[in-house]
Structure 1
């Protein structure tokens, strides 16, 4: 019985170390706004040695892949919004941009790193799916203009829209919410009136 307990305890400790290393890698991505993180910087953040990082992941590339997958799942969960509640959904989205928007913009600008390109492409698809889900109740599936309207809503809620309003205009979070709400509601009002066909 003691051996089984010891093995379970060891496994929990191993899992906790692995999670700490992944968390440290994500923190490094956020701090450096790049996938060009080093194993020593991750190890230092995690409070372990580089040898421990390699024992858990085998290589820097494997660590980055594992951390990217965790970050992606975290982002999807962070952006989850209630159905049929557009104001709350927009608030959730803007809160997400406040936490991660600058990092996302850095990744989008790193066209030479294949991981950054893949991340950007995956993020674009995820954002379009978010828009489709959030605004579904106001956009009938059989509407021939549905794809066109979703394109416009994607732009109105994109991280670049947040950047223009928040970083370049210097607006408050509440003002950004107001502007995104105005944009999206204007589009949806047009849909309701049949103006977007």
Structure 2
């Protein structure tokens, strides 16, 4: 009898966690598709297959949902960008993969950063995360550079989402050619 109760409580906890994850995934996905001002809690609830009341029960408010979604997305981005330190080929491959997955979403957020406080906060964090990624992944090259700060700036630009956009979206290059050109930029910068 006690075993059944324990199983029921565990199953319930799993169901709650799965619902919470669906709501967060829906919120993150919608932020990649349209401006913040065009996303209502009804939209998030509908995408997640729950009621608005369920969303509020899990997160307390729209701000609570946005905060949880921001933390979830930030962790996902950090995980996606894991790269062996000093491996230039892997670094360029990983960053292009990341932009293939989230580049358009990042560009939409960047387009809103001047008039949306939430997007400004998210993009500031994203820029800091990108610079930290460059600093970590290219650490051996930065240590050997005459001017590590300048090299960091240039590597940030070479591997930035706007560089990917110019090649992949504006020039309509294939993913492979985009990666190849970003790699050439990076190689040209390294000592």
Scaled to the shorter chain, the TM-score interval is: over 0.9
- The aligned residue for residue 137 of structure 1 is 140
Instruction: Write the distance in 2 (CA, Å) between the matches of 1:130 and 1:136.
Output: 10
Task: After TM superposition, give the deviation of residue 33 of structure 1 in Å.
Answer: 5.0
Task: After TM superposition, give the deviation of residue 36 of structure 1 in Å.
Answer: 4.6
Q: Give the 5 Å matches for 1:144-155.
A: 144-155=146-157
Task: After TM superposition, give the deviation of residue 6 of structure 1 in Å.
Answer: 2.1
Instruction: Write the distance in 1 (CA, Å) between the matches of 2:171 and 2:7.
Output: 58
Instruction: Write the distance in 2 (CA, Å) between the matches of 1:166 and 1:113.
Output: 27
Structure 1 segments, 4+ long, off by >3 Å, are: 33-36
Instruction: Write the distance in 2 (CA, Å) between the matches of 1:34 and 1:74.
Output: 20
Q: What's the CA shift string for 1:145-184, capped at 9, x where partnerless? A: 0111111111111111111111111111111111111111
Q: CA RMSD in A?
A: 1.5
1:27 to 26, 29, 36: 29
Instruction: Write the distance in 1 (CA, Å) between the matches of 2:7 and 2:175.
Output: 50
Residue 46 of structure 2 corresponds to residue 44 of structure 1 = yes
Q: TM-score, normalised by structure 1?
A: 0.90
Q: Give the 5 Å matches for 1:110-125.
A: 110=112, 111-125=114-128
Instruction: Write the distance in 2 (CA, Å) between the matches of 1:91 and 1:35.
Output: 34
Residue 7 of structure 2 corresponds to residue 5 of structure 1 = yes
- The aligned residue for residue 177 of structure 1 is 179
- SS of structure 2 residue aligned to 1:83: coil
Instruction: Write the distance in 1 (CA, Å) between the matches of 2:44 and 2:77.
Output: 20
Q: TM-score, normalised by structure 2?
A: 0.92
- The aligned residue for residue 159 of structure 1 is 161
Task: After TM superposition, give the deviation of residue 4 of structure 1 in Å.
Answer: 2.8
Task: After TM superposition, give the deviation of residue 128 of structure 1 in Å.
Answer: 0.6
Instruction: Write the distance in 1 (CA, Å) between the matches of 2:33 and 2:171.
Output: 24
Q: What is the aligned residue count?
A: 188
Task: After TM superposition, give the deviation of residue 107 of structure 1 in Å.
Answer: 0.7
- SS of structure 1 residue aligned to 2:121: helix
Q: What's the CA shift string for 1:96-147, capped at 9, x where partnerless? A: 1111111101111111111111111111111011111111122217x55011
Task: After TM superposition, give the deviation of residue 31 of structure 1 in Å.
Answer: 2.1
Residue 85 of structure 2 corresponds to residue 74 of structure 1 = no
